[in-house]
């Protein structure tokens, strides 16, 4: 009997980047999701992957050195192994400017459109406020694991 949840989650750029840079809340959240959600129900986008590369290859001074091309490729291999990658196209960009899409952050409007291409139930992000205006999707922070656990169990 498969005990994994059967609805779809979209993971935002910041959670992926933080996972690879060792942020404990994001690591714990994604490890929980990997253990409880099948790959068929996990999504991120080609936009997020490019943004992750940009973050990982930026130099954060003494906090973190920029990742090499090989290390970024290793991160991409891990993303591809765990997620379905939603392709961004011009139609998606145009949809993100639609009147029915609320919010001032264009990038997050695009991520919302990408999440809805596969009817994702929730978006996992560190930018909760950026997604508060989007209809039809729940938003969880990586620190919401206790609530996520309770909520996910209720849905099965």
For the chain, the average pLDDT equals 88
The residue segments making up the domain with residue 50 are 9-144
Residue 3 is assigned to a structural domain of this protein: no
Query: pLDDT of 93-113, one tens digit each?
Result: 999 998 888 778 899 899 999
Residue 150 is assigned to a structural domain of this protein: no
User: Measured between alpha carbons, how far is 52 from 148 in angstroms, rounded to an integer?
Assistant: 24
Residue 156 is assigned to a structural domain of this protein: no
Q: What is the number of helices (H) and of strands (E) in the chain? A: 7, 5
Residue 110 is assigned to a structural domain of this protein: yes
Domain count, the chain: 1
CA 88 to chain centre: 14
User: Measured between alpha carbons, how far is 80 from 45 in angstroms, rounded to an integer?
Assistant: 10
Q: Which of 45-54, 57-66, 93-102 has the lowest mean pLDDT?
A: 57-66
8 phi/psi in degrees, rounded to 5: -100, 140
User: Measured between alpha carbons, how far is 47 from 74 in angstroms, rounded to an integer?
Assistant: 18
CA 123 to chain centre: 6
Query: pLDDT of 10-36, one tens digit each?
Result: 999 999 999 999 999 999 999 999 998
Residue 36 is assigned to a structural domain of this protein: yes
Residue 2 is assigned to a structural domain of this protein: no
By CB neighbour count within 10 A (0-12 exposed, 13-18 middle, 19+ buried), where does 36 fall? middle
Question: Comparing C-alpha atoms, which of 29, 44, 36 is closest to residue 126?
Answer: 29
Residue 106 is assigned to a structural domain of this protein: yes
CATH number of the domain residue 67 falls in: 3.40.50.1010
User: Measured between alpha carbons, how far is 28 from 87 in angstroms, rounded to an integer?
Assistant: 27
């Amino acid at each position: 009997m498969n005990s994994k949840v059967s609805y779809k989650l979209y993971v935002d750029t910041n959670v992926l980047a933080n996972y690879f840079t060792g942020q404990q809340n994001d690591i714990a959240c994604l490890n929980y999701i990997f253990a409880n959600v099948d790959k068929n129900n996990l999504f991120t986008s080609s936009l997020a992957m490019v943004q992750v590369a940009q973050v990982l290859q930026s130099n954060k001074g003494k906090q973190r050195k920029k990742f090499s091309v090989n290390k970024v490729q290793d991160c991409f291999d891990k993303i591809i192994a765990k997620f379905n990658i939603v392709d961004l196209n011009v139609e998606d960009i145009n949809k993100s400017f639609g009147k029915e899409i609320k919010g001032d952050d264009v990038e997050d409007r695009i991520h919302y459109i990408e999440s809805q291409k596969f009817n994702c139930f929730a978006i996992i992000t560190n930018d909760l406020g950026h997604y508060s205006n989007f209809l039809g999707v729940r938003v969880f922070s990586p620190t919401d694991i206790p609530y996520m656990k309770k909520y996910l169990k209720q849905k099965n």
